[in-house]
Structure 1
């Protein structure tokens, strides 16, 4: 059924002999302490769209499927499913599962949640449409949004046949559909509980409900969230660690110090700390899955000039940035779809099949800039470079790019510093930018998780790039059932946006972390929700 193979990483470590002192290890084997530079924005799976919130929601919620201890998609609330011959109807058979308040998890919990995210125009609502699961009538209902009547919402292709049977009808065959079901925007919600909470739902522990491994017990935004094992969880026997603590908004230096002092068991670090820790046995690197790139505002006359975009793309020494600055396992990007995301029906990685579209050439960069200056009738071109200071290593990337661009004669760079929330929801969403440092993490293991971003009507296409040829190709991809032909179409589609330089790819993000020796079973995946805590063990 799958177009490609999801590349996932299971973080494990050898158990130290005896109890360990320092290096994040401790004698308390009941609590796993996880440090993050980011905050939890909310606990409503139909609203949030950030990785840290997904980590927290995933800790307390299971979907139809989930990521198992090997990082593979496995049955969760759905114990099994049947697929129609045409691949467009899935019938899920739910297991006996309960919410933490004792209510049964039913098929209606999924129906309610899926309708809710569409009607409320959640940030990930598009994932129910042809930008993701291709659920019947999802796109049409998204056009109506809050104006959709109950009768109209009932036409969404998700039906509770009975409490234990959920039927999902698709408009197009989706090869990665069961992988998608492990993503938070498809998670169930208890209608009675959510409606009782109203606008408070997902804002405090008492306004959350669990059907997963843990329950949220305390939450101080910007500080710490605490979870305890959910004794009503259907797979409680597998959960070996009683408590989970998330230390929030800890900059990497503070997190590393807390790790050294035995106050946390896991902490991601940035490039400035790699040299200090790289030879220690608690140091690890892995593929984080994010592509860091430049988004360009095509409504701006300067960057709408193709020669300006070419100059920026050629001016970046990506290899130097990754190997000598980031030093965390990051790799130079060569296209808009990163490597190790998915493989073709013939078993080849997308990047091995596709061309290399960006490279470093200072001489060419200057030639393109000179051509741009001539076309624009100016001696100096000014670029405003927007970036978030709370999105490590976004600040490092921005500073490096400033240095790279400033080497070009006749190019001036204004640095526009802000924070992630302002960058996305104010600046980008309102088109108030020229060039922005941004990133995208794959929601599922298929090239379309990136390619969809460049379609004219995609809600994340903040740069307003548009191409009739590209849109037509993406529409073909949605409808193509022959997996080999579909793969070839995706390669053609990437070529269109890379030839246009709709985006300027910079690097594929690796990550460096410190993990205590007595920790095993923490699952980190580069696709979907970053971390799974269910299998963590402390010895």
Structure 2
């Protein structure tokens, strides 16, 4: 989602998200978040002792939709970041312990004031056309991401307030050459930060910070990143047989990758499937190696030997757009927002519709994500439930809202996903709202993921089912979403006190961990005093996973799955 900005996918077979990107994770039959997503799935311990060379090194998998883009400057969603993460490599890469390990960088040094980071790059990394990967490729890519002419959402979101002069560059006030990144020769990258940034190392693993080969990108022009022929790769795999409309594609082992000896998988195949039942049928016949489960399928397969539930840190919610096409919507009224946020049974939704290990969310920052640096309490333990279901309160807020609006009816459009499981979720929420809030008329607009991204970017909706997976391990990845005019704040929410708290966490409190954390806690309270969004649930993935799949894991942010260290093993 900093790059960060995306709507999410319903995990477990229900994806209703949008484009917040990023980040964080969803399952194979659902739509992406915009964010990026989540908890580590450890490789299985009792792996077959047979040599992996005796087993075909292929995974056959499903994807919930097409890949909207393979341009790292333009990516905002889970699917884009998944395949960028598989085919590209930045300064560092996350391992199964959520630690940054060597990528194109072999080491770095940080200045005493924590503002200058100097990265030493390896000299044996090459692009798939044979060109060396150099510090100049990072300089070009980062400048391109914040250049206002590029139109990137994640560039400014991820870099503003972090990389020196990024905000001024992205707003057209300074030339891109003044961005705080430079090459000191071919294999030394020097980065100047705006303020000390505790999470900067983890940021360098994220898709927006990937390098780009300037000559190739500029030669391809508008065709860049529209098909396999118009892409270069420097990661563990290459993307084959793909274009922007493809419903199937493949990842092939990149023999030119600097660490190719580590990569054991020769190929991963992907087919688009939005229907969980189709996925399960393909799994049962052995045509695919993993399938996401919707709630009804969980009941059927929860005792299956291949059944797995993976908790995640993605949070799904309703976005309330306060201004559309230059005009205020009824959602500009805080009592309308508070009424809607309380008017549907989230526990029933989690237990019955999702039925996949997801839990009710009554705040923005997820459970078990970060802890207070002094007390050790989690964010959710401290702030508690800020937006619980309460039908009676909802009706009271609604009555007040109708009186303030001078009407007895309100019509709103509800933008959401079009997968079968997403439709079940959408219809449930719409029915609950219309039943509990007399006079409310909801029109469902259920569209493919890429179309929802466009509608969100253009702020062309009233209510939107969205989600966010973290882009790095810090509360900022959640709370920076809703600053005034922020790249992900496509709903005209604005609060000066909220903005000030988030800004302080990036500036004067950057080196004061206790005060910084408490600023985040206060900012989240303000977010729900204003009821900017309506949290629904924190996701989990319920899947059938073949025992042949070993060594892959789920990332806490960025690309949902990591396959670099994966292999296929013989079934026991």
TM norm structure 1: 0.91
Establish whether residue 100 from structure 1 lines up as the match of residue 128 from structure 2: yes
CA distance in structure 1 between the partners assigned to 2:91 and 2:281 by the alignment: 39
Q: How many residues align?
A: 518
2:13 maps to none
1:234 maps to 258
Establish whether residue 413 from structure 1 lines up as the match of residue 442 from structure 2: yes
Q: Is the 8 A contact 1:385 1:436 kept in 2?
A: yes
CA-to-partner distance for each residue in 1:370-419, whole Å, 9 max, x for gaps?
222222222333332221214x7543332221121122233332222223
CA distance in structure 2 between the partners assigned to 1:256 and 1:28 by the alignment: 23
What does 1:299-448 align with in structure 2 at a 5 Å threshold? 299=323, 300-346=328-374, 347-390=376-419, 393-408=421-436, 409-426=438-455, 428-448=456-476
Counterpart secondary structure, 1:231 = coil
C-alpha distance 191-130 of structure 1, shift in aligned 2 (>3 A): closer
Counterpart secondary structure, 2:386 = coil
Query: Alpha-carbon deviation of 1:15?
Result: 5.5
CA distance in structure 2 between the partners assigned to 1:298 and 1:247 by the alignment: 38
2:151 maps to 121
Query: Alpha-carbon deviation of 1:334?
Result: 1.2
Q: RMSD value over aligned CA atoms?
A: 2.1
C-alpha distance 191-16 of structure 1, shift in aligned 2 (>3 A): closer
Counterpart secondary structure, 2:172 = helix
Q: Which of 31, 41, 53 is the aligned partner of 1:10?
A: 41
1:256 maps to 280
CA-to-partner distance for each residue in 1:173-201, whole Å, 9 max, x for gaps?
11110101111100011122222222222
CA distance in structure 2 between the partners assigned to 1:514 and 1:156 by the alignment: 46
- Flag structure 1 segments of 5+ consecutive residues without an equivalent: 1-5, 20-26
C-alpha distance 205-7 of structure 1, shift in aligned 2 (>3 A): closer
CA distance in structure 2 between the partners assigned to 1:15 and 1:537 by the alignment: 14
What does 1:452-471 align with in structure 2 at a 5 Å threshold? 452-471=480-499
- Flag structure 2 segments of 5+ consecutive residues without an equivalent: 1-36
Q: Which of 241, 246, 251 is the aligned partner of 1:218?
A: 241
TM norm structure 2: 0.86
CA-to-partner distance for each residue in 1:87-111, whole Å, 9 max, x for gaps?
1110001112122222211111100
CA distance in structure 2 between the partners assigned to 1:64 and 1:50 by the alignment: 21
Establish whether residue 47 from structure 1 lines up as the match of residue 101 from structure 2: no
Query: Alpha-carbon deviation of 1:246?
Result: 1.9
1:22 maps to none
Query: Alpha-carbon deviation of 1:332?
Result: 0.5
2:184 maps to 161
Q: Is the 8 A contact 1:213 1:239 kept in 2?
A: yes
2:95 maps to 68
Counterpart secondary structure, 1:144 = coil
CA-to-partner distance for each residue in 1:69-126, whole Å, 9 max, x for gaps?
3343222111100011111110001112122222211111100111112221212111
Counterpart secondary structure, 1:510 = strand
CA-to-partner distance for each residue in 1:5-43, whole Å, 9 max, x for gaps?
x97312434668799xxxxxxx95221122111211222
235-244 or 345-354: bigger deviation? 345-354
Counterpart secondary structure, 2:164 = coil
Q: Is the 8 A contact 1:88 1:172 kept in 2?
A: yes
C-alpha distance 368-458 of structure 1, shift in aligned 2 (>3 A): same
CA distance in structure 2 between the partners assigned to 1:344 and 1:164 by the alignment: 38
Establish whether residue 483 from structure 1 lines up as the match of residue 513 from structure 2: yes
330-339 or 346-355: bigger deviation? 346-355
CA distance in structure 1 between the partners assigned to 2:472 and 2:222 by the alignment: 29
2:322 maps to 298
C-alpha distance 537-111 of structure 1, shift in aligned 2 (>3 A): same
1:524 maps to 554
